[in-house]
Structures are given as C-alpha cells and as structure tokens.
Amino acid sequence: MSIIIFGGIGQLGQCINKVAKSQNIEGIIYLDEIEGNILDVELLENLFIKHKPSYVVNCAAYTAVDKAEDDVDLARKINKTGAANLADACVAHGSTLIHVSTDFVFEGNLPKALSEEDEATPIGMYGLTKLEGEQDIINKMSEFFILRTSWLYSEFANNFVKTMLRLGKERPELGIIVDQVGTPTYGVDLAACILHIITTQSKDYGLYNYSNEGAISWYDFAQAIFELGEVAVKVKPLKTSEYPTKAKRPAFSLMDKTKIKQVLGIEIPYWRDSLKVCMAALA
C-alpha cells in the first residue's frame, strides 16, 4: 500500500512519521511543500502516476490565522484550491483522501459541543478558506475523510506548548486568554487516528471531529503546561478584548466526537493525559 503525506515535514506529518515507525507501517512518502506542491496540477499528476497511492493525507495548509486576513489570495489558494486539486487527482487515480481541517470553521458563539451537523459559519478568512476546501472535497468526491481538529500541539515544530515553555522561562509573568474555550489535540493522537483509518481500510467516509477529550481555556492549558513542566511563572487571565488580534477567534469551539468514536471505533485520550505524554517526549 502506497501512502502520500502532503505537508509531510510539518508538525502533523512528523507525528504521523513517529506513529508509523512505532507501528512498523511502511510505504509512506512524506513530501514537503516543494516536492508536493498542491497548487501544481502537473506535478500532482506525475506524483500520482509514479506512486499510485491508495491513500493521500493532506496536512498542507495555510495556518497563519491573523496573516490570512490580509493574505487572502494565498490562504485561499492553499486551503481551497490545493484541497480541490488533491480531490481531483484522487478521483482520477482511485485514491482515498484524508484531509485535515479545523474548528475555526465554526463561529463559536454556542455554548455546546459542536457536531458535524452543526452549521459552519467561520468568522475569519482562515476558517472560511478551510471550509471552502472542505466543500470542494465533498462536491468532487465520495471516498474521503475530513477530520476537523483544534489546538494542535506536539513535540515537533512550533506550537503553543513549546512557545509557553520558552516564554515561561524568559518572563516572570504571562497573560493568557481565559474566555476562549475548546480542546487541545496532541498531534501524535491525531496521527494514530489517521493511521487507524488507513490500516483498517475503513469505508465509513465522511466528515468527522477529532480532538482530545475535555474542555478548557487557553489559560487552563498554559497553567497545566507550566505545572507539568515545573516552570515557575505567574499566569494572568486575559479577556479576548484585552488582547486584540487581526482575526477573530471562536469563543467556544468545543467539538462533539461521538461520531468518530462510534463509527470508526476511535478511542480518544483525555487532554491532560496526552499533554503528559508530550511533556515527557519534550523532556
């Protein structure tokens, strides 16, 4: 079985590599943004002809949330057009697409766990372009898995956990947002979910939510990072209004994972348990 990971040297790609090695899964090709340029249709065609992938995993994305407000064209090219290009190639070559999306497709104004059936009404360009990518995939093909995730972190690349550990050692006090609620996702857990879909050759195609279990604010997340990392820093709770950003963020983007647990048989760890695993890996 041949598997291509687009965005393969990014955070999630490295997580997939880690899990694949631990499970002795072979036949995975990890492509960077040049080798696997999802905007180059001719390049994609040649890659599909050469590797004949059974599965394609799209980890490539424009994720700079604030920059996307001004850099709309590039964000849309990568998040929408790139996803559509992969969908076209997968249909033409009989490949299954696993596409990673985001909780930012939700407005985040409802105090409830959001299901796959809840209306997606993004409030920023990042979320909008990711939703457009989802829609193109759904309209173009039937054999796909779209996994919406949130607050991704791991021992790889740049992320909130590593940033907090660095800043916590540099500063005596940090202000962290307390009124945005969701769930962190340990990239290794998400990678294991993706590889479960592949190794079981699931035919239960569709849209799924995936994050770790539980609900916290960014403030709670930071406190746990400092506690587990034994970093002595004072954490001050900030309201979103006290820390204005170019792009609006969902205030409540907790996702309901009932579907993925019941349909795909996925067991999802509690966020703090996974954070402990990541912190041990970083140590």
Q: Which residues of 153-162 are buried (b: 16+ CB within 10 A; e: fewer)?
A: bbbbbebbbb
Residue 272, number of CB atoms within 10 A of its CB? 17
Q: How far apart are CA 29 and CA 139, in angstroms?
A: 27
pLDDT band, very low/low/confident/very high, at 93 (cuts 50, 70, 90):
very high
Question: pLDDT of 58-88, one tens digit each?
Answer: 999 999 999 999 999 999 999 999 999 999 9
pTM score, whole prediction: 0.98
| Local confidence band at 156 (pLDDT 50, 70, 90 cut-offs) | very high
Q: Which residues are catalytic, by number?
A: 126
2.60.420.10, 3.40.50.720, 3.40.50.200, 3.40.50.2300: CATH of 3-159+185-212+255-269? 3.40.50.720
Q: Which residue has the tokens 């939700």?
A: 106
Which token pair is 199? 């190794």
177-194 tens-digit pLDDT:
999 999 999 999 999 999
Q: How confident is the model at residue 207 (pLDDT cuts 50, 70, 90)?
A: very high
C-alpha dihedral, 243 to 244 to 247 to 252, nearest 10°: 50
Helix (H, G, I), strand (E, B) or coil at 256: coil
* Whether residue 1 has pLDDT greater than 90: no
Average pLDDT of the chain, as a whole number: 98
Distance (Å, whole) CA 67 – CA 124 = 11
